[in-house]
Amino acid sequence: MRLSATLATLTAMFVIPFPGMGHTTAVADSPVEAGAVDNVRDSVEAAITLAVPYLERAGEAWIEKRQCVSCHQVPFMLWSLSAAAEQGYKIDRDRLRDWTAWSVDVRSFVKPEQKDDLEPASTLAANIDTLTALLLGLPNQEGLESNKQSGRVNWRQSFANALVENQLAEGSWQPCGQLPAQKRPLQETTQVTTAWTMLALHHEGVSPEHMPTALSTLQNDTPASTEWWVARLLLANQLSDAQAAFFRQELINKQHSDGGWGWLTDDPSDALATGMALYALCHHQEGKDGKAIAAAVRFLTSNQSPDGFWKVPGTKKTTRNKPTPTSNYWGTAWAVIGLLESER
Protein backbone atom coordinates (compact mmCIF):
# COMPACT_ATOMS: atom_id res chain seq x y z
CA MET A 1 0.00 0.00 0.00
CA ARG A 2 1.26 3.48 -0.81
CA LEU A 3 0.61 4.74 2.72
CA SER A 4 2.92 2.12 4.18
CA ALA A 5 5.72 3.00 1.76
CA THR A 6 5.30 6.69 2.48
CA LEU A 7 5.15 6.41 6.25
CA ALA A 8 8.06 3.99 6.47
CA THR A 9 10.29 7.02 5.89
CA LEU A 10 8.37 9.34 8.20
CA THR A 11 10.41 11.09 10.84
CA ALA A 12 9.95 13.52 13.69
CA MET A 13 8.74 16.70 12.04
CA PHE A 14 10.14 20.19 11.84
CA VAL A 15 9.33 23.11 9.57
CA ILE A 16 11.43 24.58 6.77
CA PRO A 17 10.34 27.55 4.65
CA PHE A 18 10.58 27.33 0.88
CA PRO A 19 12.80 30.15 -0.37
CA GLY A 20 10.87 32.90 -2.06
CA MET A 21 7.51 31.28 -1.26
CA GLY A 22 4.98 32.41 1.32
CA HIS A 23 4.45 28.89 2.69
CA THR A 24 6.13 26.18 4.66
CA THR A 25 5.95 22.42 4.57
CA ALA A 26 6.75 19.59 6.91
CA VAL A 27 9.93 17.58 6.51
CA ALA A 28 11.52 14.85 8.56
CA ASP A 29 14.74 14.45 10.49
CA SER A 30 14.72 11.14 12.36
CA PRO A 31 13.08 7.71 11.99
CA VAL A 32 9.74 7.05 13.59
CA GLU A 33 9.34 4.46 16.30
CA ALA A 34 8.25 0.96 15.40
CA GLY A 35 4.50 0.71 15.03
CA ALA A 36 3.99 4.31 13.89
CA VAL A 37 3.12 3.21 10.35
CA ASP A 38 0.41 0.90 11.66
CA ASN A 39 -0.89 3.63 13.95
CA VAL A 40 -1.23 6.09 11.08
CA ARG A 41 -2.86 3.48 8.87
CA ASP A 42 -5.32 2.80 11.68
CA SER A 43 -6.02 6.54 11.85
CA VAL A 44 -6.72 6.68 8.12
CA GLU A 45 -9.03 3.70 8.27
CA ALA A 46 -10.80 5.14 11.30
CA ALA A 47 -11.28 8.50 9.57
CA ILE A 48 -12.73 6.90 6.45
CA THR A 49 -14.93 4.55 8.47
CA LEU A 50 -16.28 7.51 10.46
CA ALA A 51 -16.89 9.61 7.33
CA VAL A 52 -18.77 7.00 5.30
CA PRO A 53 -22.05 7.07 7.31
CA TYR A 54 -22.05 10.88 7.13
CA LEU A 55 -21.52 10.79 3.35
CA GLU A 56 -24.33 8.25 2.95
CA ARG A 57 -26.75 10.00 5.32
CA ALA A 58 -26.19 13.60 4.19
CA GLY A 59 -25.96 12.59 0.52
CA GLU A 60 -29.24 10.72 0.66
CA ALA A 61 -30.87 13.67 2.46
CA TRP A 62 -29.73 15.97 -0.37
CA ILE A 63 -31.23 13.62 -2.98
CA GLU A 64 -34.53 13.33 -1.12
CA LYS A 65 -34.82 17.07 -0.49
CA ARG A 66 -33.44 18.50 -3.75
CA GLN A 67 -34.27 15.58 -6.04
CA CYS A 68 -31.59 16.63 -8.50
CA VAL A 69 -27.91 15.94 -9.12
CA SER A 70 -25.51 18.80 -8.43
CA CYS A 71 -21.95 19.30 -9.60
CA HIS A 72 -20.56 19.53 -6.06
CA GLN A 73 -22.72 17.13 -4.02
CA VAL A 74 -23.98 13.91 -5.61
CA PRO A 75 -21.02 13.17 -7.94
CA PHE A 76 -18.54 13.43 -5.05
CA MET A 77 -20.82 11.40 -2.81
CA LEU A 78 -20.70 8.63 -5.43
CA TRP A 79 -16.97 9.07 -6.14
CA SER A 80 -15.98 8.79 -2.46
CA LEU A 81 -18.36 5.94 -1.64
CA SER A 82 -17.47 3.99 -4.80
CA ALA A 83 -13.76 4.31 -4.02
CA ALA A 84 -14.37 3.22 -0.42
CA ALA A 85 -16.39 0.21 -1.58
CA GLU A 86 -13.64 -0.74 -4.02
CA GLN A 87 -11.12 -0.76 -1.17
CA GLY A 88 -13.25 -2.94 1.06
CA TYR A 89 -14.92 -0.45 3.37
CA LYS A 90 -18.42 -1.19 4.61
CA ILE A 91 -20.84 0.55 2.22
CA ASP A 92 -24.53 -0.03 1.60
CA ARG A 93 -23.89 -1.35 -1.89
CA ASP A 94 -27.54 -1.75 -2.83
CA ARG A 95 -28.25 1.90 -2.08
CA LEU A 96 -25.02 2.94 -3.79
CA ARG A 97 -26.14 1.04 -6.90
CA ASP A 98 -29.53 2.78 -6.79
CA TRP A 99 -28.01 6.22 -6.25
CA THR A 100 -25.63 5.65 -9.14
CA ALA A 101 -28.37 4.57 -11.55
CA TRP A 102 -30.44 7.60 -10.53
CA SER A 103 -27.52 10.04 -10.88
CA VAL A 104 -26.62 9.09 -14.46
CA ASP A 105 -30.19 9.53 -15.70
CA VAL A 106 -30.27 12.98 -17.31
CA ARG A 107 -33.76 13.52 -15.90
CA SER A 108 -32.17 13.64 -12.46
CA PHE A 109 -30.18 16.73 -13.46
CA VAL A 110 -33.21 19.01 -13.07
CA LYS A 111 -35.77 19.74 -10.37
CA PRO A 112 -39.01 17.70 -10.37
CA GLU A 113 -41.08 20.52 -11.81
CA GLN A 114 -38.70 20.74 -14.79
CA LYS A 115 -38.67 17.06 -15.75
CA ASP A 116 -41.69 17.12 -18.06
CA ASP A 117 -40.12 19.82 -20.25
CA LEU A 118 -36.59 18.45 -20.12
CA GLU A 119 -34.56 18.66 -23.32
CA PRO A 120 -31.60 16.24 -22.93
CA ALA A 121 -29.03 18.04 -25.10
CA SER A 122 -29.44 21.44 -23.45
CA THR A 123 -29.58 19.84 -19.99
CA LEU A 124 -26.28 18.06 -20.56
CA ALA A 125 -24.76 21.26 -21.93
CA ALA A 126 -25.69 23.07 -18.72
CA ASN A 127 -24.02 20.44 -16.52
CA ILE A 128 -20.44 20.17 -17.76
CA ASP A 129 -18.87 19.86 -14.30
CA THR A 130 -21.45 17.28 -13.23
CA LEU A 131 -20.74 15.09 -16.27
CA THR A 132 -17.00 15.39 -15.69
CA ALA A 133 -17.15 14.40 -12.01
CA LEU A 134 -19.42 11.42 -12.72
CA LEU A 135 -17.12 10.16 -15.48
CA LEU A 136 -14.04 10.48 -13.26
CA GLY A 137 -15.61 9.21 -10.06
CA LEU A 138 -17.73 6.22 -11.07
CA PRO A 139 -16.23 2.82 -11.93
CA ASN A 140 -15.69 2.24 -15.64
CA GLN A 141 -17.65 -0.99 -15.70
CA GLU A 142 -20.83 0.59 -14.32
CA GLY A 143 -23.65 -0.45 -16.64
CA LEU A 144 -21.46 -1.16 -19.64
CA GLU A 145 -22.33 -4.81 -20.20
CA SER A 146 -26.10 -4.34 -20.14
CA ASN A 147 -25.82 -1.43 -22.53
CA LYS A 148 -23.65 -3.41 -24.93
CA GLN A 149 -26.13 -6.26 -24.91
CA SER A 150 -29.09 -3.97 -25.55
CA GLY A 151 -27.30 -1.98 -28.24
CA ARG A 152 -28.04 1.28 -26.42
CA VAL A 153 -25.56 4.11 -26.04
CA ASN A 154 -24.35 3.86 -22.45
CA TRP A 155 -24.31 6.87 -20.18
CA ARG A 156 -20.52 7.20 -20.26
CA GLN A 157 -20.52 7.48 -24.03
CA SER A 158 -23.46 9.87 -23.95
CA PHE A 159 -21.76 12.13 -21.38
CA ALA A 160 -18.44 12.10 -23.24
CA ASN A 161 -20.20 12.96 -26.50
CA ALA A 162 -21.93 15.87 -24.77
CA LEU A 163 -18.60 17.19 -23.49
CA VAL A 164 -17.08 17.08 -26.96
CA GLU A 165 -20.10 18.81 -28.47
CA ASN A 166 -20.06 21.62 -25.90
CA GLN A 167 -16.44 22.70 -26.16
CA LEU A 168 -16.39 26.44 -26.80
CA ALA A 169 -14.81 27.89 -29.93
CA GLU A 170 -11.71 29.09 -28.07
CA GLY A 171 -11.16 25.58 -26.73
CA SER A 172 -12.43 25.83 -23.15
CA TRP A 173 -15.52 24.51 -21.37
CA GLN A 174 -17.88 26.75 -19.44
CA PRO A 175 -18.27 26.11 -15.69
CA CYS A 176 -21.81 25.36 -14.59
CA GLY A 177 -24.16 26.04 -11.73
CA GLN A 178 -22.83 28.27 -8.98
CA LEU A 179 -19.16 27.62 -9.75
CA PRO A 180 -18.72 30.97 -11.55
CA ALA A 181 -19.57 32.66 -8.23
CA GLN A 182 -16.51 31.23 -6.50
CA LYS A 183 -13.99 33.52 -4.79
CA ARG A 184 -11.39 33.37 -7.55
CA PRO A 185 -11.21 34.93 -11.03
CA LEU A 186 -13.84 33.56 -13.41
CA GLN A 187 -11.10 32.85 -15.95
CA GLU A 188 -9.41 30.54 -13.44
CA THR A 189 -12.67 28.73 -12.68
CA THR A 190 -13.09 28.22 -16.44
CA GLN A 191 -9.54 26.87 -16.67
CA VAL A 192 -10.20 24.43 -13.83
CA THR A 193 -13.43 23.22 -15.46
CA THR A 194 -11.53 22.83 -18.73
CA ALA A 195 -8.71 20.84 -17.13
CA TRP A 196 -11.13 18.47 -15.33
CA THR A 197 -13.08 18.03 -18.58
CA MET A 198 -9.94 17.17 -20.49
CA LEU A 199 -9.05 14.66 -17.78
CA ALA A 200 -12.48 13.02 -18.07
CA LEU A 201 -12.31 12.82 -21.86
CA HIS A 202 -8.79 11.38 -21.78
CA HIS A 203 -10.05 8.88 -19.18
CA GLU A 204 -12.75 7.84 -21.66
CA GLY A 205 -10.27 7.55 -24.52
CA VAL A 206 -11.72 10.54 -26.36
CA SER A 207 -9.56 13.23 -27.93
CA PRO A 208 -11.56 16.24 -29.11
CA GLU A 209 -10.43 17.93 -32.28
CA HIS A 210 -9.64 21.10 -30.34
CA MET A 211 -7.66 19.49 -27.48
CA PRO A 212 -4.44 21.45 -28.31
CA THR A 213 -6.49 24.65 -28.31
CA ALA A 214 -7.95 23.70 -24.94
CA LEU A 215 -4.46 23.27 -23.51
CA SER A 216 -3.53 26.75 -24.68
CA THR A 217 -6.41 28.25 -22.65
CA LEU A 218 -4.90 26.96 -19.38
CA GLN A 219 -2.04 29.44 -19.26
CA ASN A 220 -2.10 31.24 -15.90
CA ASP A 221 0.84 33.11 -14.40
CA THR A 222 -0.89 33.83 -11.07
CA PRO A 223 -3.32 31.02 -10.16
CA ALA A 224 -5.13 31.73 -6.90
CA SER A 225 -6.50 28.30 -6.00
CA THR A 226 -5.00 24.98 -4.98
CA GLU A 227 -7.51 23.29 -7.26
CA TRP A 228 -5.85 24.90 -10.29
CA TRP A 229 -2.50 23.30 -9.37
CA VAL A 230 -4.19 19.97 -8.63
CA ALA A 231 -6.02 19.85 -11.96
CA ARG A 232 -2.92 20.90 -13.90
CA LEU A 233 -0.76 18.27 -12.18
CA LEU A 234 -3.28 15.52 -12.86
CA LEU A 235 -3.68 16.59 -16.48
CA ALA A 236 0.07 16.90 -17.06
CA ASN A 237 0.61 13.40 -15.71
CA GLN A 238 -2.28 12.05 -17.77
CA LEU A 239 -0.82 13.55 -20.93
CA SER A 240 2.79 12.64 -20.03
CA ASP A 241 3.58 16.35 -20.13
CA ALA A 242 7.14 17.29 -19.22
CA GLN A 243 5.74 20.05 -17.00
CA ALA A 244 4.31 17.50 -14.55
CA ALA A 245 7.35 17.75 -12.27
CA PHE A 246 6.99 21.54 -12.16
CA PHE A 247 3.30 21.39 -11.25
CA ARG A 248 3.99 18.74 -8.61
CA GLN A 249 6.72 20.78 -6.95
CA GLU A 250 4.67 23.99 -7.04
CA LEU A 251 1.79 22.17 -5.38
CA ILE A 252 4.12 20.89 -2.66
CA ASN A 253 5.56 24.38 -2.22
CA LYS A 254 2.09 25.66 -1.36
CA GLN A 255 1.57 23.19 1.46
CA HIS A 256 1.25 24.88 4.85
CA SER A 257 3.24 23.98 7.96
CA ASP A 258 0.24 22.11 9.41
CA GLY A 259 0.35 19.70 6.44
CA GLY A 260 -2.71 21.05 4.64
CA TRP A 261 -3.60 23.37 1.79
CA GLY A 262 -6.17 26.17 1.59
CA TRP A 263 -8.71 26.25 -1.22
CA LEU A 264 -7.14 29.57 -2.13
CA THR A 265 -3.42 29.02 -1.71
CA ASP A 266 -3.12 31.88 0.80
CA ASP A 267 -6.08 30.68 2.90
CA PRO A 268 -5.76 28.52 6.03
CA SER A 269 -5.72 24.78 5.42
CA ASP A 270 -8.99 22.98 4.82
CA ALA A 271 -10.09 19.44 3.98
CA LEU A 272 -11.37 20.29 0.50
CA ALA A 273 -8.05 21.60 -0.83
CA THR A 274 -6.00 19.10 1.19
CA GLY A 275 -8.02 16.13 -0.06
CA MET A 276 -7.59 17.30 -3.66
CA ALA A 277 -3.85 17.87 -3.22
CA LEU A 278 -3.37 14.53 -1.48
CA TYR A 279 -5.22 12.75 -4.29
CA ALA A 280 -3.09 14.42 -6.96
CA LEU A 281 0.21 13.70 -5.21
CA CYS A 282 -0.69 10.09 -4.40
CA HIS A 283 -2.22 9.45 -7.81
CA HIS A 284 1.18 10.00 -9.41
CA GLN A 285 3.50 9.64 -6.47
CA GLU A 286 7.27 9.79 -6.64
CA GLY A 287 9.42 9.00 -3.63
CA LYS A 288 10.29 12.62 -2.89
CA ASP A 289 6.60 13.41 -2.37
CA GLY A 290 6.38 11.06 0.64
CA LYS A 291 6.87 13.70 3.32
CA ALA A 292 4.25 16.01 1.85
CA ILE A 293 1.79 13.13 1.60
CA ALA A 294 2.41 12.00 5.18
CA ALA A 295 1.89 15.53 6.49
CA ALA A 296 -1.36 15.87 4.52
CA VAL A 297 -2.63 12.56 5.91
CA ARG A 298 -1.83 13.73 9.41
CA PHE A 299 -3.65 17.03 8.86
CA LEU A 300 -6.81 15.27 7.70
CA THR A 301 -6.86 12.56 10.37
CA SER A 302 -6.29 15.21 13.07
CA ASN A 303 -9.03 17.64 12.03
CA GLN A 304 -12.14 15.50 11.47
CA SER A 305 -15.21 16.23 13.59
CA PRO A 306 -16.67 13.50 15.85
CA ASP A 307 -19.68 13.38 13.49
CA GLY A 308 -17.48 12.23 10.61
CA PHE A 309 -17.24 15.39 8.52
CA TRP A 310 -14.66 18.13 8.10
CA LYS A 311 -15.61 21.80 8.48
CA VAL A 312 -14.72 23.68 5.29
CA PRO A 313 -15.17 27.39 4.48
CA GLY A 314 -17.45 28.00 1.52
CA THR A 315 -15.80 28.59 -1.84
CA LYS A 316 -18.28 31.27 -2.93
CA LYS A 317 -17.61 34.96 -2.42
CA THR A 318 -20.83 35.38 -0.47
CA THR A 319 -19.97 32.80 2.23
CA ARG A 320 -17.36 35.13 3.79
CA ASN A 321 -15.05 32.18 4.58
CA LYS A 322 -17.58 30.54 6.89
CA PRO A 323 -18.29 26.79 6.73
CA THR A 324 -21.44 25.78 4.88
CA PRO A 325 -23.24 22.42 4.63
CA THR A 326 -22.31 22.22 0.94
CA SER A 327 -18.61 22.96 1.47
CA ASN A 328 -18.48 20.62 4.48
CA TYR A 329 -19.90 17.81 2.35
CA TRP A 330 -17.73 18.54 -0.67
CA GLY A 331 -14.64 18.78 1.53
CA THR A 332 -15.44 15.57 3.38
CA ALA A 333 -15.88 13.68 0.12
CA TRP A 334 -12.53 14.97 -1.15
CA ALA A 335 -10.82 14.19 2.16
CA VAL A 336 -12.03 10.59 1.86
CA ILE A 337 -11.00 10.40 -1.80
CA GLY A 338 -7.52 11.65 -0.92
CA LEU A 339 -7.12 9.36 2.08
CA LEU A 340 -8.27 6.37 0.05
CA GLU A 341 -5.73 7.17 -2.65
CA SER A 342 -3.00 7.31 0.03
CA GLU A 343 -3.91 3.73 0.98
CA ARG A 344 -3.44 2.25 -2.48
Residue 255 CA to residue 293 CA, distance in Å, equals: 10
Identify the pLDDT of residue 283: 85
Task: Tell me the H-state helices in the chain.
Answer: 2-7, 36-66, 74-86, 93-103, 120-125, 128-137, 144-150, 155-165, 186-203, 211-216, 226-238, 244-253, 271-283, 290-302, 325-343
Per-position pLDDT tens, the chain of length 344: 445 444 443 433 333 333 333 333 443 333 444 455 556 678 999 999 999 999 999 999 999 998 999 888 999 999 999 999 999 999 999 999 999 999 999 999 998 888 888 999 999 999 999 999 999 999 986 444 444 444 456 999 999 999 999 999 999 999 998 899 999 999 999 999 999 999 999 999 998 788 889 999 999 999 999 999 999 999 999 998 889 999 999 999 999 999 999 999 999 999 999 999 999 999 875 655 689 999 999 999 999 999 999 999 999 989 988 999 999 999 999 999 999 999 98
Which residues are bridge partners to 13 per DSSP?
28
The answer to whether residue 299 sits within a structural domain is no
The answer to whether residue 52 sits within a structural domain is yes
Identify the pLDDT of residue 204: 94
The answer to whether residue 146 sits within a structural domain is yes
For 215, the domain range is: 42-247+269-284+308-343
Identify the pLDDT of residue 141: 60
Identify the pLDDT of residue 113: 85
The answer to whether residue 34 sits within a structural domain is no
The answer to whether residue 6 sits within a structural domain is no
The answer to whether residue 88 sits within a structural domain is yes
How many independent structural domains does the chain possess?
1
Identify the pLDDT of residue 18: 33
Q: How far is CA 126 from CA 76, 115, 166, 211, in A?
A: 18, 15, 9, 20
The answer to whether residue 175 sits within a structural domain is yes
The answer to whether residue 121 sits within a structural domain is yes
Identify the pLDDT of residue 344: 86
Tell me if residue 240 falls in helix, strand or coil: coil
Identify the pLDDT of residue 37: 52
Identify the pLDDT of residue 97: 96
